[in-house]
Amino acid sequence: MGKCEQCIIRKFSSLRALNKEELIKISSCKTSRIVKKGEPLFEEGDHLKGVFCIREGACKLTKLSSNGKNHIVKFITKGDLLGQRSVISDESVNLSAVAVNDMEVCFIPRDEIMDSFRGNPDFSVEVVRDICYDLKNSDDVSVNMAQKNVKQRLADSLLYMHDTFGEDIDGFIKVQLSREEIAGMVGTATESLIRMLSEFSKKGLIEVKGKRIKISSILKIQNVSDGIM
Amino acid sequence: MGKCEQCIIRKFSSLRALNKEELIKISSCKTSRIVKKGEPLFEEGDHLKGVFCIREGACKLTKLSSNGKNHIVKFITKGDLLGQRSVISDESVNLSAVAVNDMEVCFIPRDEIMDSFRGNPDFSVEVVRDICYDLKNSDDVSVNMAQKNVKQRLADSLLYMHDTFGEDIDGFIKVQLSREEIAGMVGTATESLIRMLSEFSKKGLIEVKGKRIKISSILKIQNVSDGIM
DNA sequence: AAAAATATATGATATTTGTCATGTATTTCT
DNA sequence: AGAAATACATGACAAATATCATATATTTTT
């Protein structure tokens, strides 16, 4: 199995603040795992025994809403850490994590993380910074969800998907979600979402090929998001 | 000025994890301040030089949305700490804080907080726990905003106000917000909000006297929130 | 206390969004 | 390959919500 010290992935997460000894210690007790597309990493209410480090692939964090729909709160991709919140605050997880493509993840047991958190202030500051960033984002999302209409929210979701996954060689967003999943992310009925996708498509804002979506003009989509239509 | 060691307020916040020495040190450099209803404590984009500890009163955290409306994200009340996020992650604040009634706040300079954060793991764990709790809540709010309709969201806001401020002697929620403010919190037009308030009132779910609102049946409001109507 | 400004309320109407029905395309299973 | 299941698409309509107009109540100012 690979060694944490040499793993490039950690450079992108708060793990970068760990020193060599800590990395070696973690390396010796971490486990690695493959998660296939569609499989859950954990589910809402689970109690995590450690933190996941995403080496490859991506997953969606979802929450079952009271109306029975699955809402995608955010995506976690290569290089991200997952589960710190739950591990540090010692509470069950609030969201489910499901792979949106094949993933390779490392698992670092709770005790290792907590030792470093309590013993290495650089690491704890990094971790908190990450969580603060998530909180800021989440607050922004709340405001957008409350104040924007469905069309604006779809524009936001498209931009978020584009930011998170990037483009393939043809310029399509490098992730394939069902219409239902996108509807859940936007917070609308699947039929409404489908209609809006074709409206965007007709207006030349996007190009749709099956599940693949290409943003024709970032600027125009941004304008929709800002209510300039 | 009062001493932090003897301040009961700190018992309710992460400051409880501080030891006597730290408290004495903070006590010597903290400042106290009165903020009148309607006055801002800080504004979106400000760079905070420290953390606020709410000794008395409450404030709303708001964000200006792209459609020009002020959205109330949450309330901060007596005993809460404010600004940790911004101070620890060393970023400008994301939200404005405006007093909803007369407040008395203590101000603790950044360096003091950071020294304790880096030097006292018990404190840093407490702080992170607080922030994690906020994040969990914020994610929940996002989902509710996206998936619930306006009526359900109004029910949520009423319950939140009730939880946060409690009841006065007549059973009315102990805070007075304008219809516009409530509309901003719910994420709807002011006229729509007014209509729904009178609908709730007609149905006997709430009692309205000017700006004062009484929840007649928590259970019924909870049912509305859950879509059981 | 009167005038002005602001907040609340309500009707009429337009727009947005959701729901139901139904058909077609695509994927999955055997 | 064919059948079954699932996903996507679209029309028709209903319900929810926003907008505009206007009236009244309340608060603030003078």
Q: Which among B67, B89, B128 has the least Cβ separation from residue A89?
A: B128
Answer whether A66 touches B (CB < 8 Å): yes
Q: Which among B95, B136, B225 has the least Cβ separation from residue A139?
A: B95
Q: Note down pLDDT in tens along chain B; length 229 residues.
A: 678 888 888 888 999 999 999 999 999 999 999 999 999 999 999 999 999 999 999 999 999 988 888 999 999 999 999 999 999 989 999 999 999 999 999 999 999 999 999 999 999 999 999 999 999 999 999 999 999 999 999 999 999 999 999 999 999 999 999 999 999 999 999 999 999 999 999 999 999 999 999 999 999 999 999 998 7
Mark which residues 116-175 of A lie under 8 Å from B by CB.
117-119, 121, 124-125, 127-129, 131-136, 138-148, 152-153
Which residues, in sequence order, are bridge partners of residue B175?
none
Put residue A205 in one of left, alpha, beta given phi > 0 → left and psi -120 to 50 → alpha: alpha
B63 in Cβ contact with B96 (< 8 Å): yes
Neighbours of A167 (CB within 10 A): 12
A24 touches strand C (CB under 7 A): no
Q: What is the mean pLDDT of residues A198-222?
A: 96
Q: State which H helix or E strand residue A209 sits in.
A: strand A206-209
Which residues, in sequence order, are bridge partners of residue A71?
A63
Q: How far apart are CA B51 and CA B106, in angstroms?
A: 8
**Tokens describing residue B138:** 């914020």
Average pLDDT of chain A is 94
Put residue A18 in one of left, alpha, beta given phi > 0 → left and psi -120 to 50 → alpha: beta
Give me the helix-helix angle, B150-165 and B218-225, nearest 10°: 140
- Tell whether pTM > 0.80: yes
Report DSSP state, residue A69: P
A173 in Cβ contact with A214 (< 8 Å): yes
ipTM for the assembly: 0.93
CA dihedral A210, A215, A216, A217 (to 10 degrees): 160
Nearest to B127 by CA among B167, B86, B180: B86
